[in-house]
Structure 1
């Protein structure tokens, strides 16, 4: 009887914990979270066709705390006709430098990697928006959606990006199922 009392308490505790957990206490990976901005690159001479950007490198501007470099790791010396970029959830502006025909410049010191940098045709884009927090579920919490999104190509006199167009008026970024902007080059 003494051993029965010792065993019953842990059994009741485990039963109580398992009953109190609900299915929505774990956020499924399939649940949509804060969406990223999708940009397609189009041929400037035929805007009905996509066109690869060769040796593309994407660099987040002032992104130490808001946009991890891991999120941009797919865009290091790659050939692609689109990019999927995270937007800052704590600010109303995100900036990126997109480098076309990028290469690693060794700064004329081939034996010293510490002064190497990415070189090529650099264009800066500035994305402005307002943020809205949307409740997803108890387990997943909130996600941020972006409203009134605008994208500006900063003119530097040598832009490889020639024009940009939102896919809809009053562009918003609420999911990752469609392109949000087209950029011609």
Structure 2
């Protein structure tokens, strides 16, 4: 009989400990975090039709490395991360990108880059939003604007924000259209 009492007490202690435990402090991968800006490309002649950009490459301004997944690809949409510690982000968008090292891969002085490069500037304000104890905070972007820097040969002809006072709070829909 004593053994049953001890087992009952141990079971009670175990039950109280299990109920009182906190869940693991691991942020699930399915939890939305800081969103990226989504841009879709459209045909300037028929603005309801999406249009691919060929031999497409993206890189940050002052950065020679291409953005992952955007090094000489064909696409009609892009997902761009924005800087959370700044109020603007700039990208170089290349159409018909080519690179020629002239047979001297160790000498960059004779390298040539072809194609048409346009620079876009994205301006915004940031806001920190609490997600959970495990996930911490995420940054959302408010009053987002996009500017196409003018040059002698812009391949991006115009842009359109999909909402007034554009914000980037999730990645469920496009935020801007670029026409070419």
Q: Check whether the contact 1:24–1:138 (CA below 8 A) recurs between aligned residues.
A: no
Report the CA distance shift for 1:100/1:18 in structure 2 as closer, same or farther (over 3 A).
Answer: farther
Instruction: Report the TM-score, using the length of structure 1 for normalisation.
Output: 0.81
Q: 1:167 Cα deviation (Å)? A: 0.2
The higher radius of gyration belongs to 2
> Aligned partners of 2:25, 2:33: CA distance in 1, in Å?
16
Q: 1:73 Cα deviation (Å)? A: 1.2
**2:151 counterpart of 1:150:** no
User: 1:112 aligns to what?
Assistant: 105
How many aligned positions are there? 164
Gaps of 5+ in 2: 1-16
Aligned structure 1 segments of 4 or more residues deviating by more than 4 angstroms:
17-21
Gaps of 5+ in 1: 1-16
| Counterpart secondary structure, 2:49 | strand
The CA RMSD measured in Å over matched residues stands at 2.4
User: Once the two structures are superposed, what CA deviation does each residue of 1:24-52 show, in whole Å capped at 9, x if it has no partner?
Assistant: 51000000000000000000001101000
Report the CA distance shift for 1:74/1:111 in structure 2 as closer, same or farther (over 3 A).
Answer: same
Q: 1:157 Cα deviation (Å)? A: 1.6
> Aligned partners of 1:167, 1:43: CA distance in 2, in Å?
16
